[in-house]
């Protein structure tokens, strides 16, 4: 097989290879932040976004939660500690699973938070196994949002809530959208849906939309400014997607326009599984 015929790496391999880059871009986090007048750092902003997801999930003590695409486990650990719940995190990145497991142990939560290798498109759990679930900026890495949401719906108990944090398309600027999607394609980030697209997909998965919260004005531009600063400071240390040697230099050129544009953004969605 020639180099051009080699299969492209999947999300797991991408995160194993570039995981350190992703965390460096976001000052140690793996997801966008939520900013207000008192926020002083990306770390605070990331915690704010996690707290929003925790509040919207609205789980009660001793319930069980599935973290689908758990990253390095920080949101799962924060959720378990904040709400006294049991969390199972799944991922297709072995390196991230190892980091997540170490994090839970370091926090003394290894009995309540565990992590497993599993595919979100084929969850290895029986129906109605969890009281709640979330995709915390992970659904965007999956090639089939409907299948992933349907799998989540299958393992939720009736009345269970699902929270999703994801990139969205807000406006008609196709040039801007195309520029972003080209930048992100090498990292297995799929095309961005609109709020209306999400509502249709959630319904098709058998869930009922409870809330759609567009937080773009408090997240998109501010977080991308952090990313841009870290690219400028650290790009000489970064690995690049295969065959894209100029990736980071080009990203520095396009990020300001993407950050200041209005076509793209960030939202949190909440849905529920019908009770009967």
Gap between the Cα atoms of 12 and 266, Å rounded? 23
The tokens describing 237, both together, are 């240390």
* CA distances from residue 271 to 12, 124, 128, 199 in whole angstroms, order as listed: 27, 22, 16, 9
* Token pair in block for residue 261: 């544009």
In the chain, pLDDT over 90 holds for what percent of residues? 63
pLDDT in tens, 40-50: 999 999 999 99
Look at residue 57 and tell me whether its pLDDT is greater than 60. Answer: yes
Contact 142, 132 (CB under 8 A): no
Instruction: Please give the residue that has the higher pLDDT: either 271 or 257.
Output: 271
Residues 116-139 have a mean pLDDT of 97
Half-sphere exposure of residue 108: CA atoms within 13 angstroms, side-chain side: 2
- Which helix (DSSP H) or strand (DSSP E) does residue 177 occupy? helix 174-185
pLDDT band at 4 (very low <50, low <70, confident <90, very high): very low
CATH number of the structural domain 3-272: 3.40.50.150
**Helix 195-204, helix 145-155: angle, nearest 10:** 50
Q: For position 11, what pLDDT does the model report?
A: 58
Position with higher pLDDT, 234 vs 275: 275
Helix (H, G, I), strand (E, B) or coil at 159: strand
**Angle (deg, nearest 10), helices 42-57 and 74-83:** 50
Of 132 and 185, which is predicted with more confidence? 132
Distance CA 13, CA 19 (A): 9
Entry pTM: 0.87
pLDDT in tens, 84-100: 999 999 999 999 999 99
Q: Scanning the structure block, which residue is given the tokens 């789980």?
A: 59
Burial of 251 (0-12, 13-18, 19+ CB in 10 A): buried
Query: Could you give the maximum distance between any two Cα atoms of the chain, in Å?
Result: 55
Calculate the alpha carbon distances from 104 to 76, 100, 164 in Å. 9, 6, 22
| Confidence at residue 181, expressed as pLDDT on a 0 to 100 scale | 63
Q: What rounded mean pLDDT belongs to the chain? A: 87
Q: Which of 42-46, 169-173, 178-182, 212-216 shows the lowest per-residue confidence on average (mean pLDDT)? A: 178-182
Residue 6 pLDDT more than 60?
Answer: no
| Cα–Cα distance measured from residue 58 to residue 65, given in angstroms and rounded to the nearest whole number | 11
Q: pLDDT tens digit string along 176-193?
A: 666 666 656 555 566 788
- Check whether 7 has a pLDDT greater than 80: no
Q: What's the rounded mean pLDDT across residues 164-176?
A: 79
CA distance 159 to 167: 26
Polymer length of the chain: 276
213: which strand partners? 268
82: Cβ contacts below 8 Å, ≥ 6 apart: 51, 54
> Looking at residue 25, what is its pLDDT?
84
Question: Closest Cα to residue 161, out of 47, 267, 60, 48?
Answer: 60
- pLDDT for residue 180: 64
Give the pLDDT of residue 231.
85
Tokens of 147: 């299948």
In the predicted structure, residue 9 carries a pLDDT above the cut 50 = no
List pLDDT tens digits, range 226-251.
988 888 888 777 766 665 667 677 77
Residue with tokens 């894209």: 244
Among 190, 139, 146, 191, residue whose Cα is nearest residue 163: 139
């Amino acid at each position: 097989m020639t180099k051009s015929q080699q299969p492209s790496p999947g999300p797991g391999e991408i995160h194993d290879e570039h995981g350190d880059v992703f965390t460096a871009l976001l000052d140690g986090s793996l997801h966008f932040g939520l900013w207000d007048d008192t926020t002083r750092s990306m770390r605070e902003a990331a915690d704010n976004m996690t707290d929003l997801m925790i509040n919207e999930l609205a789980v009660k003590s001793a319930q069980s939660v599935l973290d689908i695409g758990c990253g390095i486990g920080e949101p799962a650990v924060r959720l378990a500690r904040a709400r006294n719940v049991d969390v199972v995190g799944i991922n297709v990145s072995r390196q991230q699973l190892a980091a997540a497991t170490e994090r839970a142990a370091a926090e003394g939560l290894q009995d309540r938070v565990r992590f497993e290798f599993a595919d979100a498109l084929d969850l290895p759990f029986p129906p109605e196994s969890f009281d709640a679930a979330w995709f915390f900026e992970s659904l965007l890495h999956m090639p089939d949002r409907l299948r992933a949401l349907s799998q989540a719906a299958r393992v939720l108990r009736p009345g269970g809530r699902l929270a999703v944090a994801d990139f969205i398309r807000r406006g008609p600027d196709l040039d801007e959208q195309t520029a972003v999607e080209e930048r992100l394609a090498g990292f297995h980030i799929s095309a961005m849906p609109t709020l209306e697209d999400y509502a249709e997909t959630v319904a098709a998965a058998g869930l009922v939309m409870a809330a759609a919260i567009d937080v773009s004005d408090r997240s998109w531009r501010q977080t991308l400014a952090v990313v841009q600063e870290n690219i400028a400071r650290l790009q000489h240390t970064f690995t690049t997607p295969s065959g894209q040697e100029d990736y980071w230099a080009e990203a520095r050129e396009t990020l300001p326009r993407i950050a200041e544009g209005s076509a793209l953004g960030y939202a949190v969605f909440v849905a529920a599984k019908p009770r009967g």
